[in-house]
Amino acid sequence: MKIFCLITLLFLSSQSVEGLRCFTCNGASSNEECNLKGRIVQCQPNEGSCQNEVRLSEGKYYTITKRCKQTEACSNNQEQNDKPAWEPTQCYPQFTMNSVCRCCCSKNECNARAMPCDKAPKCPAPVQPLNGQVTCSNMNFGNSTCTYECEQGYTLVGSSEITCMENGFGLKWASETPRCERKTCGASVPRSPPNGKVTCSNSNRVGSSCTFTCDRGYEVVGSSRVVCNRDQSWSNNVPLCNRVTCDSSLTIFLTNGEVSCAEFNFYSSQCSYKCNQGFNLVGSSTSTCQADGSWTAGKPECQKITCDIAKTTSSIANGEALCSDSNDYASVCTYTCTRGFIRVGEESITCQEDGTWSGNAAECIPVNCDQTAPVVENGNVLCSNGNIFESSCLFTCNEGYLMLNPGNMVCQDNSRWTKSAPSCQQIVCTPRQNDIDNGIVECSDNNVFGSLCTYLCNPGFEMQGLPTMSCGVNGWSNPPPFCQQLTCPTTQTGPTSGRVECTMENKAFSDCKYICGDGTDRWELHGSNSTSCQYDTVTQSFEWSADPPCCARQCPPYAQVDLFLVLDSSSSVGKENWNKTVFFMKDIIDNFVISPNDMLVAAVRYNKVIDTDSEIKIGRYTDLKSTTDAIVNLPYDGSGTLTGNALYYVLQNMLTAPGNRPDVQDLVLVVTDGISKDDVATPATMLRATGTNVVALGIVNQKGSLKEEDIIDIADDPEKTVLLDTGFEGLSTELVEVILKQVCGNPCERENQYSGLAF
């Protein structure tokens, strides 16, 4: 028992906390609309009831409002339902005019029905139709059936019976209330006939009378009045409005003419009358059909046109007249003259529509061509009989003139010559020789007959063709010549590592300019920097004024050379002079760019043996500082002088070393101060045979002696041999310049250096 009480308290407590849930809406037109479009809300704690308020105004405006309501206030409202009002009660069960009913309930969503407090639910009160009546089996209670009927002369539109049924939210009539409408003949008044109208006393209702009238020019065919009978049918069919017609004979066939009517013989139709050519219209040209069925005018006639007959029979002197149709309209009278005479006046006249001829009769007079015989300029004419009929004229032209339109002229019987007079036109040769490309032309008399034209070519051009031409009867005597430009034997090409720019290729008087490399002072040009294609009086042809130069990089500092230094370090040199030697080598190398693309240096010192330990191999150093540092740090030691042996070592080892570049010039600089104890000439010859450039520097030393023949044998060229008789003190700046010239040499001999360089 305690458990049940606890559960009951928990349930009441839970309901009190959550609050009552009610359907809510405001002024919905039906209970279904309220429940579907309204909301279910949680009521306030003090609102313990759901209230529905149903209103009916004027017997047809139904509204329903649902809300949460305090329980006591809701009960007070509900108690008013049975209180008196303008009807027996405020909540009038029949709902026939004005009524307001309020109903309360206290369970969740208990106000789903329209009147939840109604122990006997009802449909809205049935509405009595205008001009009819309703009878219900059980008023507006559930399952009650209401039957509708209309007064006499009215018909029921809609279901004749409706039933009050439950639809889930309350009671509702199964269908809409029907209505009573007045009986009619058809859906509307009779239609107006085309070209007419209808007037009805009471539209299309039973007993209404309709009268038909037609527009002007139209008449009623059929009954002009119909009545709507009780059986809802019209007393007669709708009549027609047919168009008024006139006599049809005026609309057909007009003798020697034609008739055209707008609308045959119907009212307002207008007929137009027109006569054929040669006939005149007698009567009105138009007639119109009137509303009374008569025409405004009678049918006209067409009468034949004729002209004065006198001109058809008259004859003319030296001729005759021929007429096509006597003096009738369109007859043409043609006048002809006897041969040797010419007509004066119209060739023919015509009989016109107004009954007059188009002109007067013609006359025939003797034939004469132009008053005088033709005259031709720059020529002569001879006629057989002046300008009289059948006279023949012969024409000739003066010399140098050409006859245009040649042939004799004969005077004909039509007063015209058989042809126009010829003309004598001066002979002109074409085209006119005004000029010649790259030359001049002089003509004695322009381009007319007898003119002689002489041609000359400008210097540097040679004439092709005859130098003169003359204008004759058949045109120019020969084609004009032309001037062909002379050329030097070949087209100039740019030197290695350079280019050439010519004004006119290899043509006469072309000027060519040579440019080395990129045109900067990093390049030097050996020879003339320009040449011209000029006339050579000796060869009597055009020749170039100078040979192409050669181009090379400016040396120093640029020399694409593998330089091999072969230095004598015998005891006769001494430490002090050795230092002078290596620093002299440094002074030489400092003038050049050292890199893999420019100069690379190798060095070896020798005496009676080759010092391979201190040897600087070619390609080991690729910049200036490392190269010169290695040179000045070469050690000094040894005795004896075997220069030939050193040359063999260069040939067999240094030139074949991996660092030696095969496409770069090899240059060997030998520096010695003593007499070689071995053969020098043989290895030197073999070394030069490889294409190696060999330069020898011999120094006369106080401690030793120098064999001049050995130094000369090394280079085998006085230009590449330097004998320094001032000793090591002579290793001066001036001597550096001498060695530089030996390294750089003639630019033409090193033009292939840097040949792959882009510029």
* Rounded-to-integer distance, Cα 500 and Cα 498, Å: 7
Q: What is the pLDDT of residue 14?
A: 38
- In terms of residues, how long is the chain? 759
Q: Any idea what DSSP says for residue 285? A: S
SS3 686: helix
At a CB cut-off of 8 Å and minimum separation 6, what does 675 contact?
641, 704, 705, 706, 707, 710
Looking from the CA of 229 toward its CB, the CA atoms found within 13 Å total: 7
Averaged over 485-498, what is the pLDDT?
80
DSSP one-letter code for 104: E
Dig out the tokens for 507 from the structure. Answer: 């043509």
Do residues 273 and 300 touch, judged by C-beta distance below 8 A?
yes
For the cut 50, the answer to whether the pLDDT of residue 432 exceeds it is: yes
pLDDT at residue 169 tops 90: no
pLDDT at residue 701 tops 80:
no
Give the single-character DSSP code of 732: -
- What pLDDT does residue 26 have? 94
Task: Give the side-chain half-sphere CA count within 13 A for 152.
Answer: 2
Take residue 462 and report the two structure tokens written for it: 């040679």
Whole-Å CA distances, 232 to 185, 198, 207, 228, 604: 4, 19, 9, 6, 147
Q: Which residues contact 262 (CB under 8 A, 6 or more apart)?
A: 269, 270, 271
What pLDDT is attached to residue 375? 82
pLDDT of residue 561: 92
Task: Give me the half-sphere count of Cα atoms (radius 13 Å) on the Cβ side of residue 488.
Answer: 25
Confidence of residue 265 (pLDDT cuts 50, 70, 90): confident
Nearest one of 335, 334, 341, 348 to 318, comparing CA atoms: 341
How would residue 661 be classed by pLDDT, with cut points 50, 70 and 90?
very high
Which positions ≥6 away from 13 have C-beta within 8 Å?
none
Q: Write down the pLDDT at residue 10.
A: 33
Which pLDDT score, from 0 to 100, does residue 60 have?
A: 67
- CA gap 253, 182 in Å, rounded: 60
Domains detected in the chain: 17-119 (2.10.60.10), 196-243 (2.10.70.10), 248-304 (2.10.70.10), 310-366 (2.10.70.10), 379-426 (2.10.70.10), 439-485 (2.10.70.10), 498-553 (2.10.70), 561-750 (3.40.50.410)
Q: Beta strand pairing status for 49-57 and 452-457?
A: unpaired
* DSSP character string of 652-676: IIITTSTTS-TTSEEEEEEEE-S--
Per-residue pLDDT tens over the stretch 180-208 = 878 888 878 888 899 899 999 888 888 88
pLDDT at 643 over 80: yes
Annotate 215-252 with b (16+ C-beta within 10 A) or e (fewer). Answer: eebbbeeeeeebbbeeeeebeeebbbbbbbebeeebbe
Per-residue pLDDT band at 687 (split at 50, 70, 90)? very high
Residue type, 232: Q
Average pLDDT, whole number, for the chain?
Answer: 85
